[in-house]
Chain A
Amino acid sequence: MSTHLDVTLTVNGERVSRRIEARRHLIDFLRLDLGLMGSHAGCEHGFCGACTVRVDGTIVRGCLVLAAALDGAQVETIEGVSDSGEIRDLQEAFVVRNAAQCGYCTPGMLLTAAELLKQNPAPTRDEIREHLSGNYCRCTGYHAIVDAVAAVAGRRNGEAAR
């Protein structure tokens, strides 16, 4: 049995073909094979959310997904959504509200928050807290993150109303 598989997938809009070790997790593939260092390995067991990235439009734990299983998939990371400007308002809100301290959880937190606002454009504070509760942050105590996400939801809704 081969321990490697040939895989072609799209990462941040770029087509990537690699021979990938079967046991290689997505987070390691992104970081070690593609040099995309914005996603972080935190707990390696799927609890902390630092490795959160998108596969085919849905957020996943990069430490629980095997990269070799992603033939044909669309993968998006913090680098991709930063380049596209898709979550610029969320990123700016995190900066202004100081909702990131050490920044290690931040890329995963942002992708999770972006998903929430896509699913629920007007979340309550409790709903924000609930949705982000799979992303561990040791620095902020979460309050500032909730503020930042709520502020962006409010602004997006304000713009939509106009």
Chain B
Amino acid sequence: MNEIVDPLSIDRPNSYIGKSVPRPNVKKLVEGRGQYVDDIVLPRMVHVAFARSPHAHARIAGIDPAEALALPGVLRVLTGKDLEPHCEPWVAVLAHLKGMKSAPQRPLPVDRATWVGEAVAAVVAETRAIAEDAAAKVHVTYEPLPAAVDMETALSPGTPVIHPDLGDNLCFQRVNESGDVEAAFAAAHKVVEATFHTARHTGLTLEPRSILADYNRASAKLTVYHSTQAPHMMQGVLAQHLRLPEGDVRVICSDVGGSYGIKVHVYPDEVAVAAIAKIMARPVKFIADRLESFATDIHARDHRIKGRMAVDAEGRITAIDVDDLTGIGPYSVYPRTSAVEGNQVVNLIGGPYDFANYRAKTTVVFQNKTPTCQYRAVGHPIAAAVTEGLADLAAEAVGLDPAEFRRRNVMADGSYPRTSPAGMRFEGLSHIASLDKLLAMIDYAGLRAEQDRLRGQGIHRGIGLAAFIELTNPSPFMYGIGGARISAQDGCTVRIDPDGSVMAATGVTEQGQGTEGIIRQIVAEGVGVALEQVRVVTGDTLTTPYGGGTWACRGAGIGGEAALQSAIAVKEAALRVAAAMLQSSPEALELVGGAIIERATGQTRMPLSELARIVYFRGDTLPPDLPRELMQTRHFITKQYPFAFTNGIQAAYLEVDTETGLVKLLRHWCVEDCGRVINPLLVDEQVRGGIVQGIGAALYEQCPYSAEGQLLIGSMADYLVPMSAEMPDIEVGHVETPTRESLLGAKGAGEAGTAGAPAAVMNAINDALRPFGAKVHAQPFTPERILAALGRVG
């Protein structure tokens, strides 16, 4: 466990970066005094519930609201046609994803429902309960249409084309190829292949999607309290599509009860709520219930991947060839699009390895299921499962231990900068150092000996390794170049107040990762004040610098660097004033522990509060031309690399009951390199939480559909998630390769756990099953699938 540092007892003054300091905003959360959107109550507030489609695909022939409107407390029923004049539709495509297409989507559909759960009418009532009662009494006449359900047949003749204007159900296709793949396979010593499935699953934030929109007609301003990761993006989206000036829309994001990518998208029902607030000119609240969450929160990772790997006689990878297929629902999700996950898969497969010949194709198709989009570690767990699954098959084929196979094949430390066969540019990674550290942590030889010994007793344990790379600190190459109004830049404003305390307003947001905590650490160190002197403002488009928010692992690396630069700028401004007051020079002074000190002697000359008092209240006593700007703003954007890649490796140790097919997780380890670690306590918990999300995908989570496109889960009784009793203790280690793009040197750490965990669990299960010659490659690895692999069930 990390050393926990008491903020008051840190030995070196102002040295907070790299320390395990608790987060300042947790105290309110443990007392139940956070403020999530549903905790906000406004005067004249009304509630929305939606009538939702029970059909995967149906023409909406008519909507009769009479019975709903007759219920006392019901104020209004709005349909797609009612909202049509108030809202511009959107088409979620990115220009740099060549050939990508999607259809216009509206807050509520006008003539057709295209998935089970799609909102088709909004009921506004005095209370949520009445709105729900009334939603059940909205009579929608549906004419069911044939549905495109199975992604495997989405492009087949005979499958209905969901959007006839698009010509077919193909959203996007891309082949990423380098080297001579066919020649490499022809010359291979061994070729291994497998078909992998990653199950369609969802993020299941404990706080459901939540929005409270309030339109003040007199001031013509829309204020939206939103559980979101990207307030500025939502400001722009709502302004554009509700035809409001951007400056008249304010998005406020207080506490967010979990996001993991689920809350970075534009949901049609939420846009409908904002439109209804504008129409009714009063506060309108919508909080999704759990069934709505399952049917309408984005799903993700519905992929089938056929992969093969060629190796030479020494067990070196010579080629990888994969064919990925994914079904994304009836619309690409706005504005990030639903093609990015497939695109990431073909960019990331083979990521850790040094090989020359690569071909990866992704095919992204429309279907009548819940739309899919980016969820924590977008594409990474899929790519890692394919890469690491093939790596273990190849190791077995050439008779190499999986650890030795990885040592032979990963890109060598010190061989950077370099570009992967998939075209990814790496500034600096540490695969060998991470592997060495992991093997030492897990006592690999000891674990193998234990495994052997227990096998003799009929106990089948497996050790699974999974190396991975993670894409963090995205530049405009992620979305901006494709035309999406998603900021890759972020900013921070730092202000010294009259009492010598410091306010930091940042464009990155907090959903529990610890954004406020690390910004506070960075600013305290950058300015030179005690931690508790810094308070952080996030999540308000009116009061924070414009920025992208928190997603794709950018909070620390991008937002953190902006905070450091603005903190340093404020310190320099303060020292300039101090030099004038003390008849010294800025270079001779330093700001430490909230006081101006003499560099040479360490002698305290003046508290920062005294400097601030003079600046704010007795500016007349300073030289007239002296700048006294105790508030500074800096922005940061990465410029040299499109992404700051990180790397790591995980190990899972588990036991498979070959009678029941049940998997018992025993231990899990991760060594990861996210560059400079700002707060080990927070990084480790990001990694642990991410790993458990990955374990959920590997063992439990799936959103199954019937052949007709009915979603077959309705509650958390049907959709299994990791709970504490089944989860293992998780040990986390670090290697630090800071990025040179920033002074801070931080990269992202939030997705590493999720990226590698499913692959590690899969490889461990297959390692346990090795004596039986059984293998599983379709997630989730349920008892049924394991028993089928063992030939014990049909």
Contact = CB atoms under 8 A, between A and B. Distances in A.
Interface of A: 21, 23, 28, 31-32, 35-45, 47-48, 50, 77-79, 82, 91, 94-98, 100-107, 110, 125-126, 128-130, 132-147
Nearest to B681: A98
Most buried by B among A78, A107, A141: A141
A106 B22 contact: no
Contact of B31 (A45, A82, A137): A82
Contacts of A144: 685, 688
B717 interface: yes
A35 to B, nearest CB: 8
A79 B206 contact: no
- Binding site secondary structure of chain A: loop
Most buried by A among B289, B690, B691, B723: B723
Contacts of A44: 289-290
B715 A139 contact: no
Given A39-B32, A42-B206, A102-B256, A141 B689 contact: yes
Nearest to B39: A37
B290 A138 contact: no
A96 B207 contact: no
Interface residues of B, number: 59
A138 B514 contact: no
Given A103-B257, A104-B258, A96 B4 contact: yes
Contacts of B513: 101
B205 interface: yes
Contacts of B127: 32
Nearest to A63: B290
Contact of B724 (A91, A107, A129): A129
Contact of B206 (A21, A45, A102): A102
B730 A141 contact: yes
B32 A77 contact: yes
Contact of A132 (B689, B717, B724): B724
A100 B512 CA distance: 8
B206 A98 contact: no
Contact of A138 (B691, B721, B729): B721
A42 B290 contact: yes
A38 B32 contact: yes
Given A44-B290, A142-B727, A102 B716 contact: no
Interface string B284-308: 0000011000000000000000000
B725 interface: yes
A129 B717 contact: no
B36 interface: yes
Contacts of A39: 32
Most buried by B among A47, A79, A101, A144: A101
B26 A95 contact: yes
Given A40-B36, A101-B513, A102-B255, A91 B730 contact: no
Contacts of B113: none
A132 B27 CA distance: 21
Most buried by A among B205, B257, B690: B257
